[in-house]
Structure 1
Amino acid sequence: MSRIAQIDETSPRNIVESIQTELLKRICFLDYQPGHQLKESELAAEFGVSRTPVRDAISRISHLELVETRNGVGTVVVALTAAQVRHVYDMRLELASLIGTMSPRAITPADNEAGKGLLEEARALCVFFDTKRYVEINHRLHELIANLIGNSTLKSFWWQTYHQAASTWYRVGNDVGPEVALALVMELEDINTALKLGDVAAIGFIQRTHIGYGYQRIKEHLLSSEVE
């Protein structure tokens, strides 16, 4: 893993935000598995900064319940419990229905092109499935949708719940394989239709439907033996 690109060393706030974004991405993408220890000294050396911004970045993501501090061990990555996963997905389902009603941004030709590109990449995954590639495409889809949200508070909660859910969902993708690629193609086909029609509200309902499907797969593949 390389040092964060384009880090703004003139702004302490930007440094912390860049490190926070990178750590979240590594947790969500399963580069950091549950049990992985976040060592401030090693991360500071990697990013070329002092330990202070690293500590601040870790503190910022602690409220997402993706890391915890253990006595004698330090800060480690943790998996959400079954109850936590249920709470996150309950919230995601509600947030999705608000995407088209709370100051949505108008869909642009660039959005349409981005949607088409993601669909082509997802179809290729059905032929040659690669978990890492699937994670990247799904992440970019969430970026596309987040950029259509005009309400800053809704966008913030949308990203928060995505980050909380991502590592759990991507564990399913890693276990199930091509099945999730096919589901992604179906989702993107619906989204591309909505993009073409300029219908942000429809995108919200599409997301709600597929988030629900995703949660069902999580319960089947990861949570069937856990007690909520």
Structure 2
Amino acid sequence: MSLIQIENHSDMNDVDVIQEIIRNRICFLEYPAGTTLKETALAEEFGVSRTPLREALNRLRYLGLIETRNGVGTVVVGLSYEEITQIYEMRMELAQLIGKLSPNKITDEHEEITLSLLTRAQRQTIEFDIQEYFAINHQLHHLIYDIIGNTSLKEMWKQLYFQSASSWYQVAKNTTEEVCHSLIDELTDLVTAIKSRDAEAVGISQRLHIKYGFSRIQALSSNE
């Protein structure tokens, strides 16, 4: 059973569902780097033919989460520290473009979602739940994704978020209290920006907190 399953499958087809479940397993290290994904076993698990399964795997390959190796099969990709550094550097640069490249209009719904996520994050200080923590992070990602208007920026933002997710999961497992308070700070800043309907402020906030996240990854790496 995956740590975090998708909340609502009702409006998703088989390919979407399979992609998201496998993606979550990769992001949350249920499938760590080097894991070989067996098509036959996965197709049997999901109760589908290989056609939708292969389409889901192709999407994950496009995201850079898996690759095909001769003589081995489909393998979960492992990132070097240098590659993780480059991903975070790019994420910080992209964040600054959120409010500059034709952002979508910030709505009352965005505000309601952000306030709800903040409330959920604050509950984590009472009883931390790693599954809930990452559910909040995932929904925060989708919120920012929805505000981004530029199509190319959206795709790059999504790809880099999922490529960096497993690295951040490792940090969260080791510093639960710190990352919980960091998430609250991020959402508090985001509430202010969204209440002001200021997409540029949203981007500035995201850059700040992505930079913080990378600093924690650096600290964890230096202690290993």
| 1:11 alignment partner in structure 2 | none
- Structure 1 residue 91, shift from structure 2 partner: 1.0
- The answer to whether the 8 A contact 2:40-2:50 is kept is yes
| 2:82 alignment partner in structure 1 | 83
| 1:38 alignment partner in structure 2 | 37
Equivalent position SS for 1:126: coil
- The answer to whether the 8 A contact 2:43-2:53 is kept is yes
| 1:199 alignment partner in structure 2 | 198
| 2:166 alignment partner in structure 1 | 167
The runs of 5 or more residues in structure 2 that have no matched partner are none
| 2:98 alignment partner in structure 1 | 99
Equivalent position SS for 2:125: helix
Q: Distance in 1 between matches of 2:78 and 2:130?
A: 19
Q: Distance in 2 between matches of 1:224 and 1:63?
A: 31
The correspondence of residues 1-228 of structure 1 with structure 2, limited to 5 A, is 1=1, 5-6=9-10, 15-221=14-220, 223-224=221-222
User: RMSD in angstroms over aligned alpha carbons?
Assistant: 2.2
- The answer to whether the 8 A contact 1:7-1:15 is kept is no
Letter in 2 for 1:195: I
The runs of 5 or more residues in structure 1 that have no matched partner are 9-13
Which 10-residue stretch deviates more, 159-168 or 51-60?
51-60
Which 10-residue stretch deviates more, 21-30 or 208-217?
21-30
Q: Distance in 1 between matches of 2:99 and 2:132?
A: 28
Equivalent position SS for 2:124: helix
Letter in 2 for 1:98: L
Letter in 2 for 1:74: G
Q: Distance in 2 between matches of 1:120 and 1:16?
A: 32
- The answer to whether the 8 A contact 1:187-1:210 is kept is yes
Equivalent position SS for 1:143: helix
Letter in 2 for 1:182: H
TM-score with structure 2 setting the length: 0.89
Aligned length: 220
Q: Percent identity?
A: 49
* Alignment CA distance shift 1:138-1:197 (3 Å): same
Q: Distance in 1 between matches of 2:60 and 2:49?
A: 18
Deviation string for 1:37-66 (max 9, x for gaps)?
311111111222211332232233224443
Equivalent position SS for 2:98: coil
- The answer to whether the 8 A contact 1:30-1:167 is kept is yes
Q: Distance in 2 between matches of 1:84 and 1:126?
A: 32
- The answer to whether the 8 A contact 2:64-2:159 is kept is no
Q: Distance in 2 between matches of 1:72 and 1:110?
A: 49
TM-score with structure 1 setting the length: 0.87
